[in-house]
């Protein structure tokens, strides 16, 4: 875990949390998998204290469950939980992002949107290449940077955590799907275009279609169809 500058306990704690989050998103730490503080400390060659703090942070983000006697395990997210998170995200993101669109893309904001557009392009390239790890990384970065335009860190942080947990749920299904590159949503550029034009209606439609797609997938999963 390389770092620039001196490594303090807090930065080490964050590095470990980031590394473990990436392991979960990559599917190398699978839902229900158990581990202890000592196992993670030995794996990364560090002391137990920053590892324990990192694991507590991830548990607070609802990515891990803790057990006083057994250690930690990757949270198992049900289809019902996934559906609830998508519905919550749709209710909050729809109205908030329409306000973002009303600001348009002029001035400094336009420069920010150009940078976000690059994330959209990189996500699309990763999807075409079938590189799910890179796609997820750019998807999360895209929405986090777009959410920053809300200028309310409480809302944008909450939406980011919902998106992260939705990916944790989705990854095990997509890893075993040979058509995953066709199934992932990749209309990020349309979102940026709508915000840049200040077209709140177009943004409502593309975001609405995205959440409808996720809810339809949840319904198929509940019916036993993994596709």
Domain extents in the chain: 9-74, 79-222
pLDDT at position 181 is 67
Give every residue of the chain whose pLDDT is below 50, as ranges: 1-7
pLDDT at position 11 is 86
pLDDT at position 9 is 57
Helix axes 188-197, 107-129, angle to 10 degrees: 170
pLDDT at position 105 is 62
Question: Could you tell me the fold of the domain covering 79-222?
Answer: 1.20.120
The answer to whether the predicted template modeling score (pTM) of the entire model surpasses 0.95 is: no
pLDDT at position 116 is 94
pLDDT at position 4 is 40
pLDDT at position 226 is 59
pLDDT at position 1 is 41
pLDDT, tens digit (0-9, with 9 covering 90-100), for 75-130: 999 999 999 999 999 988 877 777 777 776 666 688 889 999 999 999 999 988 88
pLDDT at position 104 is 66
pLDDT at position 109 is 82
pLDDT at position 184 is 85
Q: Which listed CATH number (1.10.1060.10, 1.10.10.10, 1.10.600.10, 3.30.70.890) goes with 9-74?
A: 1.10.10.10
**Which residues does residue 71 pair with via DSSP β-bridges, in sequence order?**
67
pLDDT at position 5 is 42
């Amino acid at each position: 875990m390389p770092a620039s500058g001196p490594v303090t306990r807090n930065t080490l704690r964050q590095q470990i949390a980031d590394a473990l989050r990436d392991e979960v998103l990559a599917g190398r730490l699978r839902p229900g998998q158990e581990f202890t503080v000592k196992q993670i400390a030995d794996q990364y060659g560090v002391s137990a204290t920053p590892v324990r703090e990192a694991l507590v942070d991830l548990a607070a983000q609802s990515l891990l469950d803790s057990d006083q006697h057994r250690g930690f395990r990757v949270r198992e997210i049900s289809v019902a939980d996934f559906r609830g998170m998508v519905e919550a995200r749709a209710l909050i993101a729809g109205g908030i992002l329409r306000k973002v669109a009303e600001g348009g893309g002029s001035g400094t904001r336009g420069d920010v949107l150009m940078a976000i557009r690059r994330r959209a392009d990189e996500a699309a390239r990763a999807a075409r290449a079938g590189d799910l790890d890179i796609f997820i990384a750019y998807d999360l970065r895209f929405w986090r940077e777009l959410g920053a335009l809300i200028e309310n860190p409480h809302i944008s942080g909450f939406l980011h955590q919902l998106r992260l947990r939705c990916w944790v749920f989705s990854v095990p299904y997509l890893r075993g799907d040979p058509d995953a590159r066709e199934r992932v949503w990749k209309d990020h550029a349309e979102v940026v275009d709508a915000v840049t034009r200040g077209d709140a209606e177009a943004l409502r439609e593309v975001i609405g279609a995205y959440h409808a797609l996720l809810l339809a997938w949840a319904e198929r999963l509940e019916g036993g169809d993994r596709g």
